Structure formats: structure tokens, C-alpha cells
Amino acid sequence: MSTIAPKKPLGLILREAGLISIPQLELALQDQIRLRDLRIGEILALRGWLKQQTADFFAEEWPQLLIHRPHQPISYYLKAAGLLNEQQIQSILNEQPVMAMEFGAMAVLKGLIKKATLSFFIEHLCEEEESDYVTQVTEIIEYCDDSWRETITAKREIYIGEPQITVPDDLRDINQKQETLIETVFLT
């Protein structure tokens, strides 16, 4: 498990957490040259790339969390960072028994946070003995990522008309109607 040194620049921490991109960071640093009285987090928030609460969390609270490591659920940290709100947390908690999935994995699958952001929090805040949790969450997300890619690929093949896959009857009827319409319009 790695830790981030408390003196690491905020922009790099946010980048490693998957919260901003390299071009966003570079542009914010250019802005900071012109706007010397604004901090990098304020510039990123003004540009709408993240919430001020998120910038403040990583600038002020994150270094202390790495030193003291209070043991809280991942939802606590995601809420403190302004990445999830109470309603989103409650929604995940309500669905958790039905889905039988870890909180973080569900947040990623719902599109509320990025996989890289969850991995960042887990890597830096989970203790070594919690490595099973990390492994489980990673496996769930990777499985779902693969399933999602397969589904998207299958849908793409259906709409392009690739014959390699079995097309459900209702889609086959739509494809036949489209082919008939195309023949009628272009061949007559």
C-alpha cells in the first residue's frame, strides 16, 4: 500500500484520484500564473471541473487522513470529499442487500464515481488486512466492465448488421423493415 506525502501538490493528488485530467491540470496551472491570488483548487472549482468542497477536502483533510487513518466506511470519505451526497449514499445502501455488492463497487457501477477514484481511496485508506475488500471490489468492477464492453460490442454489431451474433426476433423484424425501406427508396 502506498501513501501520498502530505506535501504533494494538490493538482497531482486530484489527478491521481481520477478527478481531473492532465489537460485540465495544465490549464489550471496556466490560469494560476495570471490569477496569483487564487489557489489551484479554487481555479478548478471556478472552471466547474470539481466542487470547491472536493478541492478543500484534498487540500486540508486528505493529508491528515493519511497520517491518522481513522477507520470509517468509504461512504464517509466520499461524502466528506463532496463526491457523493446523502441521497446517493442512501440509495446505494438500500440496494446493497439486493445486489450483494460492496458499496464502492455499486457507486462505480451507478456512475457516481470513477473506478480510478474508488481505487485511489481504497489504496490509500484501507489497511493491509482489508486487501480482500480491495480484491473483491476490483474483481466486481472488472467483471462488470468486461460485461458492459461485451454488451456494447454486441449492440454495436446488431445495429451495424454484423451476422456473427444471434439477433432477437424483435430486432430482426426491425432490420428487415429497414432493409425493405432502403431497397424501396434507393433501388426504385
Q: Is residue 24 part of a domain?
A: yes
Taking only the tens place, the pLDDT of each residue in 148-178 is 544 444 443 434 433 344 444 444 454 454 4
Q: Is residue 138 part of a domain?
A: yes
More confident: 1 or 117: 117
- The overall average pLDDT reported for the chain is 77
Q: What is the mean pLDDT of residues 5-10?
A: 75
3-state percent breakdown (helix, strand, coil) of the chain, nearest 5: 70, 0, 30
More confident: 89 or 5: 89
- Write the DSSP assignment of 96-159 as a string of letters: HHHHT--HHHHHHHTTSS-HHHHHHHHHHHS-GGGHHHHHHHHHHHHHHHHHHHHHHHHHHHHH
Question: Would you state the pLDDT for residue 176?
Answer: 55
Q: Is residue 50 part of a domain?
A: yes
Q: Is residue 92 part of a domain?
A: yes
Structure confidence at residue 19 as a pLDDT band (50, 70, 90) = very high
Question: Would you state the pLDDT for residue 32?
Answer: 93
Whether the CB-CB separation of 137 and 105 falls below 8 Å is answered with yes
Question: Would you state the pLDDT for residue 167?
Answer: 43
Taking the C-alpha atoms of residue 113 and residue 19, their distance in angstroms, rounded to an integer, is 9
Structure confidence at residue 51 as a pLDDT band (50, 70, 90) = very high
Say what percent of the chain tops pLDDT 70: 64
Cα-flanking dihedrals φ and ψ of residue 158, to 5°? -65, -45
Q: Return the ∠ at Cα 178 (arms to 176 and 181), rounded to 5°.
A: 110
**Most confident stretch, 86-95, 124-133, 176-185:** 86-95
Question: Would you state the pLDDT for residue 137?
Answer: 62
Question: Would you state the pLDDT for residue 157?
Answer: 40
Taking the C-alpha atoms of residue 2 and residue 16, their distance in angstroms, rounded to an integer, is 12
Structure confidence at residue 15 as a pLDDT band (50, 70, 90) = very high
Q: Is residue 178 part of a domain?
A: no
**Domains in the chain: how many in total?**
1
Taking only the tens place, the pLDDT of each residue in 122-153 is 888 876 545 555 556 666 666 665 555 444 44
Domain with 135, as residue range(s), is: 10-145
pTM of the predicted model as reported, rounded to 2 decimal places: 0.68
Whether the CB-CB separation of 80 and 66 falls below 8 Å is answered with no
Taking the C-alpha atoms of residue 122 and residue 116, their distance in angstroms, rounded to an integer, is 10
Question: Would you state the pLDDT for residue 68?
Answer: 85
C-alpha cell of 128?
493491509
Q: Is residue 140 part of a domain?
A: yes
Q: Is residue 165 part of a domain?
A: no
Q: Is residue 89 part of a domain?
A: yes
